Amino acid sequence: MLNPKLKLNPKIFNADVEQVPIRKGFGLGLLAAGEENKNVVALCADLTESTQMHLFADKFPERFVEIGVAEQNLATVASGMAAMGKIPFCSSYAMFSPGRNWEQIRTTIAYNDRPVKIVGSHAGISVGPDGGTHQALEDIALMRITPNMDVVSPCDSIEASKATQALAKSGRPAYIRLAREKTPIITTPDTPFKIGESQIFWLPDVGIAEVGIIVTGGLMYRALLAAKELEAEGIKTKVMNLASIKPMDMKGVIALAKEAGAIVSVEEHQVAGGMGSAVAEVLAQNFPVPLEFVGVQNKFGQSGTPDELIEHYDMGKDSIKASVKKVLKRKI
């Protein structure tokens, strides 16, 4: 059942569940952060409306910098603004930032420890028809291996808004990953969010979980559908929302592994280096259990609808269910 303590969207399993792009929540969150703190500034590389930064740019034109199609400049100019006390959010598509400008981010933002927020929109395979060049499947890895850098990947637009506002106050370099497509609303304004924390969105009606499903980003909806069907089939699971990939709620992840004894990670990202890898690093050192990884297996994407691609690359509801059953068999 949905965790009653978290005040999640009660209509989530309805056919007509409200759907909003995750990036939209970023736009609203940035506007709110800008209203709260005059030091919040925004920079964009010619994708202002697409990344939903236009809400901020329209309201605070004097605090918005249009960089043009120049992602290396995007990151380094933001670093300079942060050096003067600003809290810069710089947005582009994830494929270009941090995809193209990783070294600039590393040296001028992370190495310098400047509180720049890198906003990677249109991440994952679900950007769809644009094809493989535009489908960032390596961005979580690029950012989480970078010292000083926090990494947040919200599951819906409401969480994206909260995450954006939290990052504006964190005082640290951070990456926030957004998706283009409409995504079902899972959380509500009352659902808690804190950098470094996780939440159990789904838990067994009675008893303990046999498998823990750890999810980051927009695949959460499919993971919840999978958990619901598995419950009907008699398999008890817990579904953890790991939006804050770094810092990670290690205690929560280890506790879930101890309870369930098997874990499935779910992310719209290469399996290598992503959230699942981060979970594996923690569990291998602290409480090794069988793990299965739902994600892209060392491949580039291609054109198609988001649904077609998620199915083709084995990240849909049925793939999640299959991984749960597979890991269950591996339990000793």
Partner 1 sequence: MLTEHKIKELEVKANEIRESIIKMLVEAGSGHTAGPLGMADIFTLFYFHVLKHNPKKPDWEERDRLVLSNGHICPVLYATMAHAGYFPVSELQTLRKFGTRLQGHPHREYLPMLETSSGPLGAGLSQAVGMALAEKIDNGMSADRYIYCFMSDGELDEGNSWEAIMLAGKNRLRNLIAVIDRNNIQIDGYTENIMPLEPLADKWKAFNWHVIEVSGHDFQALSEAVEEAKGVFEKPTVIIAHNIPGKGVKEFERDYKWHGKPPSREEANMALKELRTLGGKIKSEHE
Binding site for partner 1 (CB under 8 A): 41, 62-63, 65, 67-68, 70, 72-73, 76-86, 88, 103-104, 107-108, 111-113
Shortest approach of partner 1 to residue 245 CB, angstroms? 23
- Catalytic one of 18, 36, 49, 71: 71
DSSP 8-state class, residue 122: S
Cβ nearer to partner 1, comparing 114 with 246:
114
Q: Enumerate the H helices of 42-156 as residue ranges.
A: 54-59, 71-83, 102-104, 139-144
Catalytic residue list contains 71: yes
Cβ nearer to partner 1, comparing 78 with 200:
78
Cβ nearer to partner 1, comparing 108 with 187:
108
Alpha-carbon distance of 216 to 127, in angstroms, equals: 17
Tokens of residue 4, six digits? 């009653």
Shortest approach of partner 1 to residue 83 CB, angstroms? 6
How many Å from the N-terminal Cα to the C-terminal Cα in the chain?
26
The answer to whether 103 and 109 have CB atoms below 8 angstroms apart is no
Q: Enumerate the H helices of 38-146 as residue ranges.
A: 54-59, 71-83, 102-104, 139-144
Shortest approach of partner 1 to residue 3 CB, angstroms? 41
Shortest approach of partner 1 to residue 173 CB, angstroms? 13
Cβ neighbours of 310 (radius 10 Å): 23
DSSP 8-state class, residue 105: I
Tokens 């952060």 label which residue? 33
Cβ nearer to partner 1, comparing 73 with 302:
73
Which residues are part of the catalytic machinery? Answer: 71
